[in-house]
Structure 1
Amino acid sequence: MSNNELTYNDFLQRLNIQDVLIDAGYHLNKRDGLRYPSYVRLDSDGRRIRGDKFIVMPSGQCCFAAQRQEVFNVISFIKGHPHFFAEYHAGMPPDRLVNLVCNRLLNHPIADRETRIIRPKRDVKPFDMADYDIHKFNPQDRETQKKFYPYFKHRGIDLYTQYAFHRNFCLATKHREDGLRYTNLAFPLTLPNDMEKVVGLEERGRLRMDGNGSYKGKAEGSNSSRGLWIASPAKIPLAEAKHIYWFESAYDAMAYYQLRQANDKELRKAIFVSTGGTPTEKQMQGVVALTLSARQHICFDTDQAGKEFTKNLQKELYRAVRSTIEETPERKPYLDTVPDGDNLDGGEIELLPKDLLSSYGKYEAAMEEVLSMRSGGLCHPDDIQDQVDVMNGHYRQFREGLREFLGLDKAHDASFIREQPNPPHKDWNDQLLAVLKLKEALDQSQEREQQPRFHR
């Protein structure tokens, strides 16, 4: 990076969220009566578009979408609403858009980059498991287990975890035309609606001799757009699962299980899913269609990409819920105002029956009080939490009424939770390795203390 290039930290420090809202076409809502500035969009006739409002938080660096319960800063707002900015075109990388918009708002020139020419991929033969020699892990045969040691040791994944997932990994050696043989740890990819057929492999190699990482990828010809690694230690069928755990890699899924299973015995009955990298729309749709009534645990990485993957999965969950609702004449005006891929409470609230409108008003007032208490700096954390509980209680009452109005079965309402490893760890395998390292240091310290001491 050259010395005159600006970073994300520069954008966050130099730009006010109101600058970005105005650039995106939002207008200050002077008649709102809220404690903090709010911004709304206007239609072609200059009338306010209901349900599209952002409240500026006291710091001036973030805004809050009340109906979606989301907070955005300068960066996340641009990435979450790319079509509002002049620089955007279909397929543009989000980071590129942020750089263009923020540099323009700061009157900082940015050089155009050369267009990268991407060569078309050569024809690839569809994946066929018959092209591989397979070595399986047998929990009753120690000799079969030894070959897996180089693949799991550097990841900190112990034998008990390997036992739990032994049906869902193997060693795969490809038959190559040049006679060379390469073996990788392989996590079979299947289709959610046909888990008997393997359509690819998520692959991991041995740790390199210099210790600088190992190969990771997918087997040639894998159906990467639809296939996922789907595993359950208790062999629970996907359609019967009560809990689905989403990860970007099978290693992370196994690490999470190892970290949590001692305190959660029901974890064996859960379904663990790895997308093997960037989750595709078809991957997510395939699983969600069969598991809408399950609790979805979104365990993607904590980096920016993981945050984007989380938003995309949430959108698919919302779309799936929407598809179960019958559009009656009474419901249609409201449903037409809910943006595609948005939560059902993201529509124009004023189109709901009066009792629901009143219920939502109680939630929004409680939410305002939470913002005020947090920004004032004079309230005890326990008092703030009490008000948060009040706010959440009002929201639950509103949500229950909304479901009743829309004829939505509670079991089919989107239920998900975002789970993240403890900072500063980017993923679950990083956290597992840190835990093991700390345990090793404590064990060594205890050993030294227990050694006899001799005095002269």
Structure 2
Amino acid sequence: MREGELTYDDFLRRLNIQDVLIDAGYHLNRRDGLRYPSYVRLDSDGRRIRNDKFIVTQQGKCCFKPQQQKVYNIISFIKEHPHFFAEHRAGVSPDRLVNLVCNRLLHHPIAERETRIIQPKRDIKPFNIEDYDIHKFNPQDKSTQKKFYPFFKHRGIDLYTQYAFHRDFCLATKHRADGTSYTNLSFPMLLPQGDGTVVGFEERGRQRTDGGSYKGKAEGSNSSKGLWIASPARTPLSEAKHVYWFESTYDAMAYYQLHQKDNKELRKAVFISTGGNPTVEQMRGVLANSLQAKQHLCFDMDQAGMEFCKNLIDEKCRVIRSFIEETPERKPYLDTVRNDKDLDSGEIELLPDKLQSVYGKYESAWEEAMSMRSSGLCHPDDIQEQVDVMNKHYEEFRDGLREFLGLDKAKDGSCVREEPTHPNKDWNEQLLAEQKQKESADETQAREQQSEEEHQARFRR
């Protein structure tokens, strides 16, 4: 970072969400009866645009949009609504846009970046598993298991987890033309709609003396479409009830190890590793074959991981939209729903009167629940009771919306964000932290027991 450049932390500390809402064209709604500020957009005649309202919360740091039940800070708001800002241009990256907008609002000059010329990559031979010597893990043969120890030990992945996924990793050795060879722990990458042909490897190396280790993908891997797709119970992707998304195979295995004792159905789930940044082709391929499943977003707890969650939810919305037949009755409403937005984000007044009435009950219940939360005066049980009322109204609205749009419920998949415990950034980090905590507790218990035994020995003397 150049001297004098501002960071996301600077933006979050020095700006509030009202600054960004006003810059995006929203106006303070003084007539709203809520206990905290709300901002609305106005049409060319100065009248409020229906269903386009944000409610400010968390002391001006965040805002909600009722019909989406989603919270934004200044960073995510700009990334989600780039077209609201003067700096938006075709091709500008979301991070660049955030920097331009926030620096302008803070009256902080930002230097123009030099255009980088990227040299084309040399021709790379497509991946072929026949180029590797493969060593497999056999649960019935301990001699085959020993070679995997250096790769899993430093990650805390135990033998039982290795048993569960033993079909979905191997040791792969490739021989170079100069006579040298190298071996990595390799996780086969498949195409979601493919025939099981391996199209690449997500690779991990042994731990080095400095604590680090190699991670990458085998040369020629189909990284744009291929993913690691695994299920301990061998559940096909098209039959999965739950799909878990991760940025790495180690995180997927760590999550399984952390949760499988409390969730016996986890064996039947399908685990996905994108091997880094998820691509559109990866997301679209999995979603098109698993819309019936609940998608569990288990990406890292950093800014990139948050962005991956947003992108996957957006892609899910596009895939679901592709199943809807656009009839004359539905078209006016569908025209107000962006392809990357949820089906409930359109102009509600374009829906049948009955559905509008149900949505009105939901929105009123939502506003009451948010007011109760922010007041600090309500008992948690009372708040939860109001949230349950809100959710009941939303489910009624969602059922009616699906019926109106002719959408099969099995194709209206849901997403849930799963987060490791703070301050762990990812699931493997949480696994290692819990193991370290247990080892420390065991050592303390052993010292206390030894001290007690020594005390008893002195007493007997």
TM-score of the superposed pair, with normalisation by structure 2: 0.94
1:338 and 1:125 map into 2 onto residues whose CA distance is 43
Structure 1 equivalent of residue 106 of structure 2: 106
Unaligned regions of 5+ residues in structure 2, if any? none
What aligned pairs does 1:9-408 form with structure 2 within 5 A after superposition?
9-29=9-29, 36-42=36-42, 49-57=49-57, 59-211=59-211, 213-408=212-407
SS of the counterpart of 1:140?
coil
1:123 and 1:24 map into 2 onto residues whose CA distance is 45
2:27 and 2:236 map into 1 onto residues whose CA distance is 50
SS of the counterpart of 1:386?
helix
Equivalent pair of 2:230/2:271 in contact (CA under 8 Å): yes
Indicate the larger mover: 389-398 or 260-269: 389-398
Equivalent pair of 1:36/1:58 in contact (CA under 8 Å): no
Amino acid at match of 1:167: R
Equivalent pair of 1:190/1:198 in contact (CA under 8 Å): yes
Structure 2 equivalent of residue 417 of structure 1: 416
Equivalent pair of 2:168/2:230 in contact (CA under 8 Å): yes
SS of the counterpart of 2:22?
helix
Shift of 1:292: 0.7
Question: CA-to-partner distance for each residue in 1:29-85, whole Å, 9 max, x for gaps?
Answer: 556665544334456676655443322236222211111111111111112222322
Equivalent pair of 2:190/2:197 in contact (CA under 8 Å): yes
Indicate the larger mover: 50-59 or 202-211: 50-59
Equivalent pair of 1:369/1:387 in contact (CA under 8 Å): yes
Equivalent pair of 1:41/1:49 in contact (CA under 8 Å): yes
SS of the counterpart of 2:420?
coil
Structure 2 equivalent of residue 439 of structure 1: 438
Shift of 1:225: 0.5
Equivalent pair of 1:36/1:55 in contact (CA under 8 Å): yes
2:94 and 2:30 map into 1 onto residues whose CA distance is 32
Amino acid at match of 1:113: R
Amino acid at match of 2:14: R
1:77 and 1:401 map into 2 onto residues whose CA distance is 29
Indicate the larger mover: 316-325 or 155-164: 316-325
2:413 and 2:357 map into 1 onto residues whose CA distance is 23
SS of the counterpart of 1:215?
strand
Equivalent pair of 2:53/2:65 in contact (CA under 8 Å): yes
In structure 2, relative to structure 1, the CA distance for the partners of 1:84 and 1:177 (3 Å cut) is farther
What is the RMSD of the two structures over their aligned residues, measured on CA atoms? 1.9
Indicate the larger mover: 84-93 or 173-182: 84-93
The alignment covers a number of residue pairs equal to 455
SS of the counterpart of 2:424?
coil
Unaligned regions of 5+ residues in structure 1, if any? none
1:32 and 1:329 map into 2 onto residues whose CA distance is 35
TM-score of the superposed pair, with normalisation by structure 1: 0.95
Equivalent pair of 2:254/2:427 in contact (CA under 8 Å): yes
Amino acid at match of 1:226: K
Percent sequence identity is 74
Equivalent pair of 2:34/2:371 in contact (CA under 8 Å): no
1:298 and 1:239 map into 2 onto residues whose CA distance is 18
Question: CA-to-partner distance for each residue in 1:243-291, whole Å, 9 max, x for gaps?
Answer: 1111111111100110111111111111111110000111111111111
